[in-house]
């Protein structure tokens, strides 16, 4: 007897110009992925690595917004890698976007060193034993450090990015010190940092967006805060809505 296929939803961005299929009960992308993709500023013709690609949404957004970049996504979980490949085909981006099934902890087995101009990563946020793990195995692996830690992801990013290339991470603001420390350990020097708040009245930032440069100088630009919502329990802020539209 054939096993039942997982239920899938089809979601869209940019007023339907980009479609993204996701498992209904597995890992689903959130605003974090959208923020990370828009924080990236790849140059024309840049090669970009989406480290821990999930359903491929970050790479799809980058390819949609930047017509001359080439994106590779690496994803550990076979089901998500297959879904990302399907999303690439559905958006007719096979000529500029590809997905590789592989383990970031063994990155050298699937990707060459210093072969990308930019690496972007939305890593697992929660350490082992912290918080309540999702009941879905796919989502638990994506959100918790069950199969890869933050240090593993930073190490992989440093391995893949060229000298003076950029690395972008989105991460919880409460763990920002850990992220900055891990980046510095791999000579990935933070150059731009933007705090993300839920809404203007919120007293504590929710996320940070960080761009680091491999072997870069010490200057760091602290950007103005970005608000996801216009007000508490309100609609998206103008900046956030523009990212989706």
CATH code where residue 124 lies: 3.40.50.150
- 104 within a domain of the structure (yes/no): yes
pLDDT of res. 147: 64
Range of the domain at 67: 8-244
Which DSSP string corresponds to 27-94? ----HHHHHHHHH--PPTT-EEEEES-TTSHHHHHHHHH-TT-EEEEEESSHHHHHHHHHHHHHTT-T
- 126 within a domain of the structure (yes/no): yes
pLDDT of res. 1: 46
Q: Distances from the Cα of 68 to the Cαs of 72, 74, 97, 143, 184, in angstroms?
A: 14, 20, 11, 31, 30
How much of the chain exceeds pLDDT 70, in percent? Answer: 89
Structure tokens at 242: 């523009």
- 2 within a domain of the structure (yes/no): no
pTM of the model: 0.90
- 167 within a domain of the structure (yes/no): yes
- Write out pLDDT tens, residues 29-45: 889 999 999 999 999 99
Three-state DSSP at 20 gives strand
Q: 84 CB contacts (<8 Å, ≥6 apart)? A: 53, 54, 55, 56, 59, 73, 75, 99
* Domains held by the chain: number: 1
- 219 within a domain of the structure (yes/no): yes
**How far apart are the C-alpha atoms of 72 and 199, rounded to whole Å?**
33
- 159 within a domain of the structure (yes/no): yes
- 175 within a domain of the structure (yes/no): yes
- Write out pLDDT tens, residues 65-123: 999 999 999 999 999 999 999 999 999 999 999 999 999 999 999 999 999 999 999 99
pLDDT of res. 128: 53
Q: 163 CB contacts (<8 Å, ≥6 apart)? A: 114, 214, 215
- 222 within a domain of the structure (yes/no): yes
């Amino acid at each position: 007897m054939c096993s039942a296929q997982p239920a899938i939803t089809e979601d869209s961005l940019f007023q339907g110009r980009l479609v993204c299929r996701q498992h209904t009960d597995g890992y689903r992308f959130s605003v974090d992925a959208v923020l990370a993709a828009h924080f990236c500023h790849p140059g024309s013709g840049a090669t970009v690595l989406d480290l821990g690609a999930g359903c491929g949404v970050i790479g799809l957004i980058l390819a949609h917004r930047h017509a001359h970049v080439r994106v590779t996504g690496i994803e550990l979980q076979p089901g998500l890698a297959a879904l990302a490949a399907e999303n690439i085909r559905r958006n007719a981006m096979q000529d500029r976007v590809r997905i590789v099934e592989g383990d970031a902890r063994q990155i050298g087995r699937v990707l060459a060193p210093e072969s990308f101009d930019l690496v972007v990563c939305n890593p697992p946020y929660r350490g082992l034993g912290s918080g309540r793990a999702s009941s879905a195995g796919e989502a638990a692996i994506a959100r918790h450090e069950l199969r890869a830690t933050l240090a593993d992801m930073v190490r992989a990013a440093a391995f893949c990015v060229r000298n003076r290339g950029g690395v972008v991470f989105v991460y919880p603001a409460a763990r920002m010190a850990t992220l900055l420390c891990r980046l510095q350990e791999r000579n990935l020097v933070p150059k731009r940092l933007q705090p993300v708040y839920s809404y203007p009245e919120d007293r504590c930032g929710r996320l940070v967006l960080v761009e680091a440069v491999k072997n870069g100088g010490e200057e760091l630009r602290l950007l103005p805060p970005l608000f996801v919502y216009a007000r508490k329990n309100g609609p998206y802020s103008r900046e956030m809505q523009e990212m989706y539209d």
